[in-house]
Amino acid sequence: MCGCGDRHAPGEPTPYDVGQAELTTGRRTLLKAGGGLAFSTAALAAGAGAADAAPLARTRKRVYVLVFDGCTPEEISGGQAPHLADLMFGGKRFAKAQSMPIMETIPNHVMMMTGVRPDRSGVPANSVFDRKLGAVRDLDRSSDLRADTIIERLNRRGLRTGTVLSKEYLYGVFGTRATARWEPFPVLPITGHAPDEFTINAAMAMVEDVDPHLMFVNLGDIDRFGHADVTGPLGVKALRRLALAKTDLYVQRFVDLLKSRGTWKHSMLVVLADHSMDWSTTNRVVSLAGPLDEDPVLRGRVQIADNGGADLLYWTGPSAQKEDAVRRMVRIARAETGVLSVFDRRHKSLRLGPQAGEVVAFCRSGWRFSDPDPVTSNPIPGNHGHPATRPIPFFINGGHPRLQHYAASSLVAQTIDVAPTVGRFFGLTGAPKGGYDGRARI
Ligand SMILES: [Zn+2]
């Protein structure tokens, strides 16, 4: 699997189940919103703003972080999304922006809201081998995220925050952190996401009914249609173009709403993708399970968490043999056709933390991993997680006077830059314990 499907360990409740259970046990309060939508909230009902920090002045500033899941920079600049292109060229754009390893959805959304790398957040990939559970699972539990988020930092200053996340596992990992949350609905089977039309309607309803100071929105259609698009490897990407054109219109509706409410002039809009997308044909699939199992030391003692363009390898044998096992895994993976690079996970540049296992393998552009089964584990053409999917669109626009317009930066903006950028906009002093790994981009 690419790690993007609706997958949970056997017997484990889905994030959606957990949310429903919280509702029925009365731990959350539903805020009735326009159009029959409902947002769940606990902190608002209890009175937003804890006593551990002085509240910010009653600011009129608003921040909207819109994530176009799986969008490539060319799709915005290439004329397929005219409204987004207008916003990008009319704002401050970062032409060399990057997703961070592992170039998957959950870790990069977590990096956006924490501003720290996975060795500090505890969330290095979509899919990991959970040693306690003894199974591969998605990092979709609120307890998986161990770092402070900009959402919670703003909550503590008495500001309202909102999450409108189209994917069940994102709803799961951010849990009840925001003061108002939309639970993705309706969720499509297999993809585990709500269509963008519903997501943007929820975002607009939340602006009108809750008016959060910070809203974090994930739009999943472009990614989902990219994964499923069998015309992707042929370069046609028909479904994806259609999805992008629609989502482009939805975003314009969202911006029009902000302008009609008079909110735009106080706002900062941060638009980016969590990763881009790459396509592979059925004859360009790498499976490491077989070659690893042929090694006498590794046989039956390695677990693989498949993340589409990246495989995470976990040694489950005796710790005394771990160093030898790591060397063997690296050597065997490097010899496979379609593999781009293989690292000891402790390699300084990766900063993935122990949840990512012992060895990390990335595939080449135009390839994908399918583990443990070479045929059934990951049959979908569109994937990400590998360096080919690192370039992302990233731009800042909005009507607030401190923002730049028609500006281009050659700096390498990254997904971890979002939290410090939001913090600086609101004038938050200081940084989380240990400082940010990202940088403010305003
Ligand atoms: Zn994604």
Last residue of some domain: 356, 380, 404?
380
pLDDT mean for each 10 residues of the chain (442 residues): 43 56 48 59 46 64 97 88 96 97 98 98 98 96 96 94 94 94 84 88 94 96 74 65 90 97 98 94 94 98 97 98 98 98 96 98 96 90 93 98 97 98 92 92 96
Whether residues 121 and 262 fall in one domain = yes
Predicted confidence at residue 231, as pLDDT, reads 61
Distance 347 CA to ligand 1 centre (A): 24
What is the residue range of 312's domain? 285-380
Neighbours of ion ligand 1 (CB under 5 A): 69-70, 105, 223, 274
Whether residues 216 and 331 fall in one domain = no
Residue 312 within any structural domain of the chain: yes
Q: Transcribe 92-138 into DSSP letters.
A: EEETT-B--SS-SHHHHHHHHHH-S-HHHHS---SEEEETTTTEEEE
Predicted confidence at residue 435, as pLDDT, reads 94
Integer Cα distance of 284 and 191 in angstroms = 23
Distance 382 CA to ligand 1 centre (A): 11
Whether residues 257 and 340 fall in one domain = no
Distance 223 CA to ligand 1 centre (A): 6
How far is C-alpha 375 from the chain's CA centre?
27
Residue 326 within any structural domain of the chain: yes
Distance 124 CA to ligand 1 centre (A): 13
Predicted confidence at residue 177, as pLDDT, reads 95
Residue 439 within any structural domain of the chain: no
Q: Transcribe 128-188 into DSSP letters.
A: EEETTTTEEEE--SGGG--S--HHHHHHHTT--EEEEESBHHHHHHHTT-SSEEEPP-SPP
Distance 327 CA to ligand 1 centre (A): 31
Residue 403 within any structural domain of the chain: yes
Distance 322 CA to ligand 1 centre (A): 32
Residue 160 and residue 48 in contact, taking contact as beta carbons nearer than 8 Å: yes
Distance 363 CA to ligand 1 centre (A): 17
Integer Cα distance of 382 and 361 in angstroms = 18
Integer Cα distance of 223 and 167 in angstroms = 11
Integer Cα distance of 267 and 264 in angstroms = 5
Beta-bridge partners for 272: 67, 394
At 268, which CATH number?
3.40.720.10
Beta-carbon-side half-sphere exposure of residue 66 (alpha carbons within 13 Å):
29
Number of domains in the chain: 2
Predicted confidence at residue 424, as pLDDT, reads 96
Distance 167 CA to ligand 1 centre (A): 9
Distance 332 CA to ligand 1 centre (A): 29
Distance 8 CA to ligand 1 centre (A): 17
Distance 219 CA to ligand 1 centre (A): 9
Whether residues 83 and 230 fall in one domain = yes
Whether residues 374 and 402 fall in one domain = no
